[in-house]
Amino acid sequence: MVKPILKYEEIDLQKLSRKSYGDDSELEERVAEIITRIKDQGDQALRELTLKYDGVDLLKTGLKVEQSEFEAAYKQIDRGFFQALKQAIENIKEYHERQKRNSWLQTAEDGSVMGQLIRPLQRVGIYVPGGTAAYPSSVLMNALPAAVAGVEQIVMVSPPRPDGSLLPEVLVAAAECGIKEVYKIGGAQAIAALAYGTETIMPVDKITGPGNIYVTLAKKQLYGTVDIDMLAGPSEILILADQTGQPQELAADLLSQAEHDKLASAVLISPDRALLDSTVKEVKRQIELLPRAEIAREAWEKYGAAILVRDLEQGMELVNKIAPEHFELVVEDPFAWLGKVKNAGAVFLGRNTPEAVGDYFAGPNHILPTGGTARFYSVLDVDAFVKKISFINYSEEALKRDAEAIMILARREGLEAHARSIEVRIK
């Protein structure tokens, strides 16, 4: 069955923006129980839950990845992958180096000094998904901004394969990023272990990286115990195209996200009805050629859409309402429209910039806000791994000058001790 073309007036914005993802009280309770078990029972609960959900006995395979496993991983990868990985690391590091901030201070004529210290977080946990696919690229996108920020300890967790190992490519990616501490755990139990710590795992200050719904809900519940990057949902791609778009290319780009997950979203918007029709037919043809055809087909059928708009202006209005994770702007002059983008995780400009360029290689991060949260969340970057500390040094002259105003404000709030802490110094 060929997916019908929707008109602007027919769309379900709630469904397109995926804002309801994660609204499941039963799952919330299940995740809360897992978190409590890890908090109370530590390593024992980790072993039991890993055996239950992943079918892996950590007593036999070991919880922590040993040096010998890193060494074995290097022998299992091919040269082409390693060279591509090294180049990707170089590109990603170079891009993120430009994001670094420096501490600063300013002095006034009265001798006062004020400023801000930029300090890296000390210990960060990164989550790398497993399950239906494994993602060495996610290792890079989590670890490299943290390393550039100056984080001293980066610990990685990832669900084990049935034999209790991690994918060699994932281990090599971790090693190349300087990560020495890796644990074979996943799901909500891994997030809880990072947050609270166990007998083996020290707690972290922040957890980053996408995962399944259990991972997302665990991060949601543990925010405050630790910091998190964002609440990531299923992958999304939205393409706004004009008559210059090529159906074969557009279909391939839509499926690049649909193959991720049965819950992934792939949306094409255009004022060109013929382009929409041709692309929808091309999606149907290309799906059958994919190794992950079953996943891509279900995602396209449930969460895919082809939407006809009046013009590109109306299309851009819809884009900003949806606030997509990945936004491809496939139009004749993409830079003319870039200034109109208000809400998106990342923007890919022109037909020579498919989303996969950003996923793996160009340099910008691929850990992006989903589910409409691009309205207020940002891409994962170096800023996510630092904290900002303000400092003040008032001179005697400045204190005398400002004392009266400070005391007025303090007393208006009913905080007399605040006011007296100023008053005692100027008598």
Catalytically active residues, by annotation: 325-326
Q: For residues 388-409, b (16+ Cβ closer than 10 Å) or e, as one string?
A: eeeeeebeeebeeeeeeeebee
